[in-house]
């Protein structure tokens, strides 16, 4: 688990300095996080907010509003005044997957939010129990084709990025395996370690220690390039699988209709924060790449990712849990 300093967490919100916008001088800025403290969204929000606020008299509240794959926080964002005082850090699970799984929700990211900037991205890695017969991606594919549906794979829940990465892998390679959804990534990993489950796609930062210790065997990473923390593990593309690249990306967003001047000022602050050497070092320690973008690039990514994962959801007939 990624840990965060206690001095940055007080109850449900942590106050840290934010960039000196005129709007921030009159009212604190709140950055919503749709997941619990200590998770990837939360840690990134706090790291970036802290760096952006250094030397400023402004203030930002990192506010955890958990539940429904981050959709509770997203709904709050969508209904907030578009004045730059309410922002949100989120990944594709909240913005492009969950809204397509939970048909009762009204949140639609391309319509309801405007991008500020991408912040970072984390690859996933396909890991197996060391006793599992497949020693490579090719061998796994051969096994799955010989026994369609007989091999189980785990995830931290329906619609999570590890689940969707696995479904994209199955779709791309034209094989079938059986999904076993857990309540969180940690118990799924525990069952692979114990030999109760053969494999799963996991966030690199979560299983790097086990891979290096030999208690898990890594077959491939899902990023376009090899992960710095696992330099000896090939990418899926290197293993001959094209079109299955997946990274968990994190972006900072505002409500739709936020004035472009405010959006551009926030984007400039994000870029400055992400350029700081100590923040880049901390991101590297967490196996996160630093990926600043323009607001327009983040908006375009959200739209393209919605189409990409919508196709996977439809083809795999993925349904949200009752």
Are residues 141 and 206 part of one domain? yes
Assess if residue 130 is contained within a domain.
yes
Are residues 95 and 134 part of one domain? no
Are residues 128 and 108 part of one domain? no
Q: Averaged over 207-225, what is the pLDDT?
A: 94
Are residues 258 and 210 part of one domain? no
Position 279 pLDDT exceeds 90 = yes
pLDDT at 151: 98
Mean of the per-residue pLDDT values of the chain:
87
Kindly give, in sequence order, each residue whose CB lies less than 8 Å from that of residue 302, ignoring residues fewer than 6 positions away.
95, 96, 109, 110, 113, 115, 251
Position 280 pLDDT exceeds 80 = yes
Locate all alpha helices (DSSP H) within the chain, ordered by sequence. Answer: 22-26, 40-53, 71-79, 92, 98-101, 109-112, 137-146, 161-173, 185-194, 204-213, 260-274, 277-285, 295-316
Q: Provide the residue range defining the domain that includes 44.
A: 6-122+247-316
Assess if residue 29 is contained within a domain.
yes
Among 181, 205, 221, the domain-final residue is: 221
| pLDDT bracket for residue 3 (50, 70, 90) | very low
pLDDT at 144: 98
Considering only residues 18 and 124, tell me which one the structure prediction assigns the higher pLDDT.
124
Assess if residue 234 is contained within a domain.
no
Are residues 304 and 257 part of one domain? yes
pLDDT at 299: 97
Are residues 214 and 130 part of one domain? yes
Are residues 133 and 207 part of one domain? yes
Looking at residue 138, which CATH number applies to its domain? 3.40.190.10
pLDDT digits (tens, 9 = 90+) for 14-53: 444 444 444 434 678 899 998 878 777 888 999 888 887 7
Q: Averaged over 49-72, what is the pLDDT?
A: 77
pTM score: 0.78
Are residues 105 and 158 part of one domain? no
Residue 30: what are its φ and ψ, rounded to 5°? -110, 125
Distance between CA atoms of residues 81 and 68, nearest Å: 22
8-12, 157-161, 275-279, range with greatest mean pLDDT: 275-279
Are residues 127 and 63 part of one domain? no
Q: Averaged over 82-99, what is the pLDDT?
A: 93
Q: Averaged over 1-8, what is the pLDDT?
A: 36
Q: Averaged over 100-111, what is the pLDDT?
A: 89
Assess if residue 260 is contained within a domain.
yes
Q: How many domains does the chain have?
A: 2
Q: Averaged over 252-272, what is the pLDDT?
A: 94
Looking at residue 272, which CATH number applies to its domain? 3.40.190.150
Are residues 129 and 109 part of one domain? no
Assess if residue 282 is contained within a domain.
yes
Assess if residue 280 is contained within a domain.
yes
Assess if residue 206 is contained within a domain.
yes
């Amino acid at each position: 688990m990624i840990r965060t300093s206690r001095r940055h967490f007080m109850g449900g919100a942590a106050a840290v300095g934010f960039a000196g916008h005129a709007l921030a001088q009159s009212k604190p800025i709140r950055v919503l996080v749709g997941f619990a403290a200590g998770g990837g969204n939360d840690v990134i929000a706090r790291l970036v907010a802290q760096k952006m606020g250094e030397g400023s008299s402004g203030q930002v509240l990192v506010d955890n509003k958990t539940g429904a794959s981050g959709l509770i926080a997203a709904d709050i964002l969508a209904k907030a005044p578009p004045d730059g005082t309410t922002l949100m850090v989120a990944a594709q699970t909240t913005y492009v997957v969950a809204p397509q799984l939970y048909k009762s929700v009204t949140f639609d990211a391309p319509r309801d939010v405007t991008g500020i900037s991408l912040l970072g991205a984390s690859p996933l890695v396909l890991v197996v129990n060391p006793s599992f017969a497949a020693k490579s991606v090719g061998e796994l594919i051969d096994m799955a084709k010989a026994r369609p549906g007989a091999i189980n794979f785990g995830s931290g829940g329906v619609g999570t990025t590890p689940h969707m990465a696995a479904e994209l892998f199955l779709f791309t390679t034209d094989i079938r395996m059986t999904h076993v959804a857990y309540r969180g990534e940690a118990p799924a990993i525990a069952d692979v370690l114990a030999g109760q489950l053969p494999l799963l796609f996991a966030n690199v930062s979560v299983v790097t220690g086990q891979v290096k210790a030999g208690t898990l065997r890594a077959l491939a990473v899902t990023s376009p390039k090899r992960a710095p923390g696992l330099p000896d593990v090939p990418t899926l593309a290197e293993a001959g699988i094209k079109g299955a690249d997946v990274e968990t990306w994190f972006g900072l967003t505002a409500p739709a209709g936020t004035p472009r001047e405010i959006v551009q000022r926030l984007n400039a602050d994000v870029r400055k924060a992400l350029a700081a050497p100590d923040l880049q070092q901390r991101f590297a320690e967490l196996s996160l790449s630093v990926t600043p973008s323009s607001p327009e690039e983040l908006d375009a990514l959200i739209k393209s990712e919605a189409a990409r994962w919508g196709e996977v959801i439809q083809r795999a007939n993925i349904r949200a849990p009752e």
